């Protein structure tokens, strides 16, 4: 069956009326360039942020017309909430049209000698059905081995007797399909709910299952948030003790979305030992603290190198920087992972070292890190189910 073209998708979407009902969403330039991979079609519709919730019927209508096209196996249409979105000329009393957002009230100065009070927290956010604890694995910058750490941590938790899932939240650079040697596309369970992929005892969801490996995800922040929310909440995770979320690097939309939309039980920060990486790791750590997410600890990755031929140790990136930082700021140091060819080779082969060489010292290191994370979760007790934080911009 020939692959459907972008023109065919846009032609179908041109049958969907824009929010002002005067034209269609394609003519009004509200539709992104469709991403097509095999029988999967992904497209976004730009709408005003304040109208996103009431425009859900628009999204459903667009998704339906794309799904009905011959050659389309699955369609994903998301709303990109944009306060500057164009939605046609003003029409008095037009249906499905949101009123302008009210101006923000002036902020009061913080009281002297005390912390600045945030706005009163809203209602408690619901967790993910069947998932007991959700933890984030994050880094301040890319290239520090965060995804490799996340997958081996998840496997370490599984090896310690927990039922574990992993969500690949790095929309721009998904790694889980390759790290866990999973191919194919998730099946639909019912409606929009997808069945997670599985390997090595882990349940897995990633945007990498939806698009080809070399397809770039040229998405703005709101579309990333929408996709992340769908992968989190529209997946039949089943009963999990822990869901590990492999965060994108940095301190942006994805991290704040997770902090606001789900009760995170804690965060694990991954860094290499050198000062440049630690500067960014501090930013990630402080971001989680500001949004009231417990930091379960820091992992020092690529901590040292042992020559496989002569046994000589080399501290290529320095050594102990992350451990000293953890001690300085009073958070647990979870462990040091060496720079070793076996970890790299097993990761590239899609058989992580905890599975490929379970009796090796590297696998034992990851299992010990997993044990310390479990201890941190136990100490946190019910904190993972508390009210989500209110974010205050200083």
Digit-coded pLDDT (tens) for 341-384: 888 888 888 899 899 899 988 889 999 999 999 999 988 764 43
Query: Are 235 and 194 a contacting pair, CB within 8 Å?
Result: yes
Q: How many residues does the chain have?
A: 394
**pLDDT at residue 88, rounded to an integer:** 41
Look up residue 11 and give its two tokens.
């032609």
Which residues 6+ apart lie within 8 Å of 71 measured at CB?
1, 2, 3, 4, 39
Q: What is 131-385's CATH number? A: 3.40.50.300
Domain ranges of the chain: 6-81, 131-385
Domains 6-81 and 131-385 share a fold: no
Nearest-CA neighbor of 362 among 353, 370, 371, 352? 353
Beta-strand runs (E) in the chain: 35-37, 40-47, 74-81, 131-138, 164-168, 188-190, 193-194, 197-199, 202-206, 240-246, 266-271, 295-300, 305-306, 313-314, 333-336
Q: What is 6-81's CATH number? A: 3.30.300.130
HSE (side-chain half, CA atoms, 13 Å) at 189: 10
Share of the chain above pLDDT 90, in %: 21
Residue 90 burial class via C-beta count within 10 angstroms: exposed 0-12, middle 13-18, buried 19 and up: exposed
**pLDDT at residue 381, rounded to an integer:** 62
Digit-coded pLDDT (tens) for 98-130: 333 333 333 334 333 333 333 334 445 557 888
Digit-coded pLDDT (tens) for 224-269: 777 788 888 889 999 999 999 998 876 666 677 776 667 789 989 8
């Amino acid at each position: 069956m020939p692959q459907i073209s972008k023109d065919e998708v846009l032609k179908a979407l041109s049958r969907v009326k824009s929010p002002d009902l005067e034209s269609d969403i394609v003519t009004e330039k509200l539709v992104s360039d469709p991403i097509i991979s095999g029988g999967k079609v992904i497209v976004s519709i730009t709408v005003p942020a304040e109208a996103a919730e009431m425009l859900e019927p628009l999204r459903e209508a667009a998704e339906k017309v794309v799904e009905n096209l011959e050659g389309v196996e699955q369609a994903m249409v998301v709303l990109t909430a944009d306060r500057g979105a164009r939605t046609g000329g003003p029409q008095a009393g037009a249906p499905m049209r949101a009123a302008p957002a009210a101006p923000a009230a002036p902020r009061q100065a913080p009281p002297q000698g005390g912390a600045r009070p945030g706005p009163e927290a809203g209602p408690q956010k619901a967790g993910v059905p069947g998932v007991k604890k959700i933890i984030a694995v994050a880094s301040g910058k890319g290239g520090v081995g965060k995804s490799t750490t996340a997958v081996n941590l998840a496997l370490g938790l599984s090896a310690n007797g927990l039922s574990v899932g992993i969500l690949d939240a790095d929309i721009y650079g998904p790694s889980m399909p390759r790290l866990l040697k999973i191919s194919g596309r998730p099946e639909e369970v019912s409606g929009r709910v997808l069945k997670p992929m599985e390997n090595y005892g882990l349940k897995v969801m990633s945007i990498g299952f939806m698009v080809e490996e070399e397809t770039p995800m040229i998405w703005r922040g709101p579309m990333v948030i929408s996709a992340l929310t769908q992968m989190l909440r529209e997946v039949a995770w089943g009963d999990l003790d822990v869901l590990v979320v492999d965060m994108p690097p940095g301190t942006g939309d994805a991290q704040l979305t997770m902090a606001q939309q789900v009760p995170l039980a804690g965060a694990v920060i991954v860094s290499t030992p050198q000062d440049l990486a630690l500067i960014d790791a501090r930013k990630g750590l402080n971001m989680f603290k500001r949004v009231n997410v417990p930091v379960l600890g820091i992992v020092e990755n690529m901590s040292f190198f042992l020559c496989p031929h002569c046994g000589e140790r080399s501290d290529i990136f320095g050594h102990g920087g992350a451990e000293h930082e953890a001690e300085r700021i009073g958070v647990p140091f979870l462990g040091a992972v060496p720079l070793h060819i076996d970890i790299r080779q097993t990761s590239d082969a899609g058989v992580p070292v905890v599975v490929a060489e379970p009796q090796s010292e590297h696998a034992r290191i990851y299992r010990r890190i997993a044990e310390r994370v479990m201890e941190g979760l136990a100490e946190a007790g019910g904190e993972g189910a508390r009210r989500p934080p209110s974010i205050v911009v200083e």
